[in-house]
Structure 1
Amino acid sequence: MDQLAWLPTHPDLGAALSAARRLPDAAAKLNEAIRLAGFRRDFTATGRIDRLAAEGLAAEGRPGGLTPLRLAILASHTVDHLVPAIRVSGLGRRVALAVHVAPYGMYRQALLGEDPALAAFRPQLILLALDARDAPIDLPLDSGEQAVAEAVGARVEELRGLWRRAKARHGAQVVQQTLVAADPPLFGSFEALVPAAPAAVIERLNTAIRAAAREEGVLLLDLAWQAAHFGGAGALADPVRWHQAKQLVSPAAAPLYGDLVARIAGAVAGQARKCLVLDLDNTLWGGVIGDDGLDGIKLGQGNATGEAFLAFQRYAAALGRRGVILAVCSKNNPEVAEEAFAKHPEMALRRGDIACFVANWKDKAGNLRHIAKTLNIGLDSLVFVDDNPAEREIVRRELPEVAVPEVPEDVAFYPEIVATAGYFEAVSFTADDAARGRSYVLNAERAAALEQATDLQGYLRSLAMTMQAKPVGPAELPRVTQLINKTNQFNLTTRRYTEADTERFSTDAGTVMLSFRLRDRFGDNGLISVVIARPDPALAPNELLIDTWLMSCRVLGRQVEEATLGVVAGHAARKGAAALVGEYRPTAKNGMVAEHYARLGFRPMPAPEGAEPGASFWRYELSAVKAPEHFIEVDAA
């Protein structure tokens, strides 16, 4: 498969870049760089896009629509030539990446000793990019299992120490690159049966690294898996470039490597996509169901075409089980379109898997807006798969926020295209994640119940809601950190924290850090809110700053805000606080909570010294306010 095969091809990228350099202002240049990052590109074009974006970023500071993130790369191989590709791919993932590269081969010194440049950079993400030739495990070929296991264990323990040092010193999320075998096998297919054979040792070491990373909360840039998927080490490496410049990844493979790094950075910054929107005719089945009828469409066992469509449905269903929201956007008669889900025996997807089903004869851009609004998620959460190139182009033009993969004519390649595009890159996986897609389906049932209700209070009572609130413990830290870093709309400050940060909050005696879960008669909504209220030197000793208040948009309009405030106020009072101070930091996406504190009875107050420009502050006297009214039974620990 071609590099970046999911991106469309520009008719003349070189000419577009030349024209972009003549644009009159920096903002226009940056916007054009972001747009051009959405096309396939080689090493040279990537560098030109990076220079174009740099002009805009230098003038604009923090551009609207991009999340800033500081990435430090500590490598045992040369990576400077990869930095432009990382930054450009970041633009495509809605992240403005600032990249610091430590001196070549000095990763141990940078973490174990003093590195003033790294400390001044204040990295939020540290990529430990190592290669198989760095400190290799060099054992006699006749070494046994025990000797190999001990050598591998010692190497992994060294890595654990570096990871822990990086977290403790810089409070950064660590990403470990797995090792790509540097040399061809010595024994052919027998290699894996010789414990000390070079390729066998690298495979064993990667397995141990993956297990240790899971235990330590370290993310993986699994370059070994990616190299195998894209055709082996040769797809990424060029031995000539290694011997000339110690480049593990060749310039030709830089755009792909840059995207692999950027998709992890995007996921850490909360920019991974959430929803897969599917066309129907010739996308989920072969043929046009309105013309061919239920029995005439191609789907399922018996012929290659039908099996290919079935395979794509199964992949979509698996994404749904992983927590990706599934939706349908089709030009079709709704009754005819839904008939396939209800009656076709080979359908792997069922109507109950689809959180939002839109089939009509309106334009798809408008329908995608409707889907985003119905699900209460941003357009930039959507990935739209459609076999029709004209429809894909229209959506890209009308809704540039929506990801639209360039799929080939043969549906057999659809699962691979969606997977290799990395739209749904994960940085954690919990039971709540697995249940997310189902929760959106249940939300549709709640919405239907609301439409049938005669009054809002009666509807809220009928939901029989129960909220569980408790201090965040070790088991919840990964999911809480994930929620902090990906919630954009109902998020009063959009501060981003690593798991090391959230662990410090959870163990601080003066801080209130709570998680909230909500159940109702339709089912479990899972983890729906996180609040962190902490002392702040700019406030009085008896005041707590609500540093973070975020909530899932799935539960809006159900008085969850009022119930949450009641719990937070109780915990704050038990900590000896006399008042809560709420902070609102406006962003491009959180305008929906601009009046949040005013609605809950907070009073405006002057901004404390050192506050971020544009932030507003609100005070809530714990002794002078009545308990908020709501219809939620609260179980507070």
Structure 2
Amino acid sequence: MIDLYENLSWLPPPAEDFAAQCKALGASSEADGTAIGLLATAAHDINQLTRLAKTIGTVKSRAGSLRPLTPFRLGILSNGTMDYFVTALIATAPRFGIALDVIATSFDQALQEAIDPSSDLRLANPDAVLVALDYRGFGLQATLGDKVRSTALVEAAMNQLDAICAGLRSSQAISIVQTVVPPSETLFGSLDATVSGTTRQMCEALNIAIRQRFTGGEALVFDSAALAETVGLARWHDPTQWALAKLPCSLSMIPLYADHLCRLIGALRGQSRRALVLDLDNTLWGGVIGDDGMNGITIGQGDATGEAYLALHRYALDLRQRGVVLAVSSKNDDEVARQPFREHPDMLLKEDHFAVFQANWSDKASNIEAIANALSLGLDALVFVDDNPAERALVRQKLPAVAVPEMPSDPALYVRTLAAAGYFEATTFSAEDRKRSAYYEGNARRLELQSGSGDLDSYLRSLKMSATFAPFDALSRNRITQLINKSNQFNLTTRRYTEAEVAALERDPNVFTLQVRLSDQFGDNGMICVVICRRADEAWMIDTWLMSCRVLKRRVEEAVLLQLADHANRHGIFELHAKYIPSGRNSMVKDHYAKLGFTAMNPHSATDGETEWRLRVADIARTDLPLEIKSFEMSGTAVGEISPV
């Protein structure tokens, strides 16, 4: 099963005409980030990644952008040779919706590049910097039995990392600190990790400190040590390639390394998947329920195959617990498909664990589109798991944005394959994340209610919505930062801010901020909107306006505008100015300001779709909205209830 990781076996194999596709893309007169993303979604080896990276460079140099891929600038600090890694990262990033630029730095100059304001790295203004030093770069040489000396070496390594990250913070770059992969060779065998002063013991101590110090906020941890241990240290390290070229890992492991690092970068920009759509027959149980009946399907304890399917049930429930929403897409009669969930005593998954249950005879692609609509999610938020290769191929062809892992023939390997694919990579985990599946399940119930309502306004009033408005605060800062960096579709400018920058916005007297939460009769939707306004004389420039797609068409944006009007009046603000900056993924809001009554300031001179808007506060109409408003007072400390608008 090591080949699962080394060969990226959850991805489909490269197209037979891969080289020809690269050549055609390189010769094309248009920048096609979508085509590049599709080409990147295959299990390429290092040579193919190098070819694809060259193609990407050619396209970008000619077209200037790779829309709709999200741009991201990554610096790398290392004591190893990273050339192969750079090309692999550039070619892998489009798989996760990212157009990556890499700023390579001088060999073994990590601290100098980080702290010197005039260094090439600092001048390049990267979005993030990977700090990829190994045990040799930290000087973790054996000091056997000398606990004082070994502790001092670990502390010195942490001091070095602290200094690097402090230098990067001053440039507003996020630090991605890589854990240290220990060598495979030991001095004491099984005792190696417990003897003070062995390299393994110091690596483990350093990694514990890294994970504690650099998780969330201004730094993230890239756990390369855990990745190396997954495939095996002896397989990860190649002494020959280190001696010849100072390669930090085996050449064959670079595609895997690039995949894992690009997952993390994608998660930083909100590209992680949010929903798991499951087939039923031979996916959640063995056999075909329509043909074999309840007694003929295989699921449950005491049978190797039945227990393999149960393992997938447990994994799906664990994903749901951390906020991944579950859905079913099955070719079946609805009543027949639901029967095992209702009657089979060994089923762990139950009907109410699924936000959407689609069982009919329509094609899977159409059903998956319906599931995305029911959940108010983009197709790029979905992962579809099906044992049938024909169904997988159909969904990949018709819905290329949906992630469709290649599944092994042995159901005992389903969980390992799905976990290895890393579709649900996270950079943080909050109480709000745990509630996310409930949010989407509630959304599906709202749509059921809407289908039975006579008109939209009656439906909205029947929801009994309540919106709470408050300024940014320390308690919500982590979630606000998460939304700013993850929201892509309903996001007018897609500007990104670190947690420290969000904290600075809270203190800035020339900045007005809003966080908005929404609840209704089906439950709490959590934080669904973030707005940042910057003062310019007697106007507010709306720097950021983003909302959750879960609350589309519920007139929340009108309530937000009225809140802006109320607070603008109290601050002596007479106009609201705004921009729409297209990102390739936010076209759904290109008419947002027009719908709210703003006037276009540059309707004929807009370049690349960017538009500017203006609205006099006095011209904002007071309308009857189907929701209760709870707004904060001017002090920004108390939240008081006012009458519905």
Would the aligned equivalents of 2:33 and 2:69 in 1 still touch at CA under 8 Å? Answer: no
Is 1:93 the counterpart of 2:96? The answer is: yes
| Partner-residue secondary structure (3-state), 1:475 | coil
Is 1:113 the counterpart of 2:116? The answer is: yes
Q: Structure 1 counterpart of 2:100, which letter? A: L
Cα deviation per residue 1:357-390 (whole Å; 9 max; x = unaligned)?
1111111112122222222221111111110011
Q: Residue 74 of structure 1: CA displacement? A: 1.0
Q: Residue 140 of structure 1: CA displacement? A: 3.3
| Partner-residue secondary structure (3-state), 1:105 | coil
Is 1:557 the counterpart of 2:559? The answer is: no
Q: Residue 192 of structure 1: CA displacement? A: 2.7
| Cα 1:300/1:139, change in 2 over 3 Å | same
2:609 paired residue number: 614
**Counterpart-to-counterpart distance in 1, 2:327 and 2:186:** 46
Alignment of 1:208-247 (within 5 A): 208-214=209-215, 217-231=218-232, 233-247=233-247
Would the aligned equivalents of 2:140 and 2:202 in 1 still touch at CA under 8 Å? Answer: yes
| Partner-residue secondary structure (3-state), 1:474 | coil
Q: Residue 30 of structure 1: CA displacement? A: 6.5
1:193 paired residue number: 194
| Cα 1:456/1:18, change in 2 over 3 Å | closer
Cα deviation per residue 1:175-220 (whole Å; 9 max; x = unaligned)?
0000001352211112233233221111111011000012754111
Structure 1 residue ranges without an equivalent (≥5):
none
Alignment of 1:70-89 (within 5 A): 70-89=73-92
1:292 paired residue number: 292
Q: How many residues align?
A: 627
Cα deviation per residue 1:560-610 (whole Å; 9 max; x = unaligned)?
11222222333333333222112222343323223322322323334899x
Would the aligned equivalents of 1:20 and 1:32 in 2 still touch at CA under 8 Å? Answer: no
Question: Which segment drifts farther, 571-580 or 89-98?
Answer: 571-580
Q: Residue 31 of structure 1: CA displacement? A: 5.8
1:491 paired residue number: 491
| Partner-residue secondary structure (3-state), 1:90 | helix
1:403 paired residue number: 403
| Cα 1:580/1:22, change in 2 over 3 Å | closer
| 1:34 aligned to which of 34, 37, 43 | 37
| Partner-residue secondary structure (3-state), 1:284 | coil
| 1:160 aligned to which of 147, 159, 162 | 162
Would the aligned equivalents of 2:218 and 2:500 in 1 still touch at CA under 8 Å? Answer: no
2:67 paired residue number: 64
Q: Structure 2 counterpart of 1:240, which letter? A: T
Cα deviation per residue 1:93-129 (whole Å; 9 max; x = unaligned)?
1211011111011110011224442233210011111
Would the aligned equivalents of 1:30 and 1:56 in 2 still touch at CA under 8 Å? Answer: no
2:11 paired residue number: 7
Q: Structure 2 counterpart of 1:55, which letter? A: T
| Partner-residue secondary structure (3-state), 2:146 | coil
**Counterpart-to-counterpart distance in 2, 1:393 and 1:27:** 27
| 1:568 aligned to which of 564, 570, 581 | 564
| Cα 1:51/1:579, change in 2 over 3 Å | same
TM-score (norm 1): 0.93
Q: Structure 2 counterpart of 1:162, which letter? A: I
Q: Structure 2 counterpart of 1:203, which letter? A: E
Would the aligned equivalents of 2:143 and 2:150 in 1 still touch at CA under 8 Å? Answer: no
1:596 paired residue number: 592
| Cα 1:608/1:452, change in 2 over 3 Å | closer
**Counterpart-to-counterpart distance in 2, 1:608 and 1:391:** 47
**Counterpart-to-counterpart distance in 2, 1:124 and 1:28:** 23
Q: Percent identity?
A: 42
**Counterpart-to-counterpart distance in 2, 1:563 and 1:227:** 50
Q: Residue 148 of structure 1: CA displacement? A: 4.5
Q: Structure 1 counterpart of 2:209, which letter? A: A
| Partner-residue secondary structure (3-state), 2:86 | helix
2:502 paired residue number: 502
1:518 paired residue number: 518
Q: Structure 2 counterpart of 1:120, which letter? A: L
| Cα 1:388/1:583, change in 2 over 3 Å | same
2:638 paired residue number: none
2:135 paired residue number: 132
Is 1:45 the counterpart of 2:48? The answer is: yes
Q: Structure 1 counterpart of 2:475, which letter? A: A
Q: Structure 2 counterpart of 1:80, which letter? A: D
Q: Structure 2 counterpart of 1:237, which letter? A: H
